[in-house]
Structure 1
Amino acid sequence: MKKIRRTSIFVLILCLWIAGNILVFRYFLAKTINLKTTYIAKRDIPPRSEIQTEDLTMIQVPEKYMQSYTWNEKADIVGKYTSIQGMIPKGSLFYKDMLYNEKEVRDLAITKLQEGMTIFTLETNVSALGSIEEGMYADIHVSISQKKDIPITGILIRHAEVISIKDHKGLSLKDEQSSKVPYFI
């Protein structure tokens, strides 16, 4: 009887010692690792896409894994656009050089196209186009000169929506750094 009692006390002390070691180990591990919250892509995000809340998954990583060239706050990621250079794969961090504000995306007009629409880039050197603004509709006329024949003129496109007007640097005319002289429509 004493032997059973002594064995059960020994087993109880051993279990308490193991549980204590596990708790101490977890405490020091958590203190050493110092987990921080960051966000990764929940799905593959194609180029020129606006990042939505549904595209993010929250994870916890060691503080030492956090990098200065990644966005780690949800507010810094949501609403930005992905770069034209490539997609953000599922499970990837959001790198600062891959995300842009709406004003920084030079080819944002492409994202505004609806199904069945196409985009035409027209070069211009006429500063009088300042009266045309984004969102307006215009008829596009063309004139083709032939060497010996009479020039052919006519309407190329009727009721075309102007979705973007850029200067020679590719900046929107609404941008503060723009030269305000239209170059591409």
Structure 2
Amino acid sequence: MTEIRFEESIWTVPLLLGVAELPLGWFDSLFATVLVLLNLTMQSCFTAILLTRAFMGDAFETKVRAAEVWRNSVAHDFRHLDLADTSLVSRVCLGDEALILSTTQATLIEHINGFLGLERAQFVLGSFQPGVLLCMLCIVLWTLCVYKEFRLIWTQAEIACAIPTSQRTSNVQ
């Protein structure tokens, strides 16, 4: 017979609460149950916060539409040319740090370029895109963590189901 140990995890607690051999008093059982419920509540709140509009922000399509309106109205307006006759849109795209107008658009361009790994005057994507790579790494790591947790829960459930049950138990030494 293979000996398998339970992991020290909050998810083990519900499996072991009813085992008579464990020296758990009513307070320990109550405290363990509160910890399980607290864990479930915290994970639910964390998930709910991640899915709210306030955390996720506006859809990127709204920013694209706003950029199109800005480009078709203000960006090429002759009133916003500088002394060298450079348009506002050119100064925004080139990352002019002396801008007084359109700083929101300049910040958006800076964030997009940083995500894609583009330099100021670079308009062609390179092979290395740090933002995309970081997102992919985060998704893979998160998926592996979730898989590990589900595998652990499944293994512990199998162990709990394999525990022999009877009216009386005896300690074998």
* TM-score past 0.5 threshold: no
Taking structure 1 as the reference length, what is the TM-score of the superposition? 0.23
Which entry has the higher C-alpha Rg, 1 or 2? 1
Taking structure 2 as the reference length, what is the TM-score of the superposition? 0.24
Counting helix residues as a fraction of each chain, which structure ranks higher? 2
Q: Which one has more relative contact order, counting CA pairs under 8 Å at least 6 apart?
A: 2
Counting strand residues as a fraction of each chain, which structure ranks higher? 1
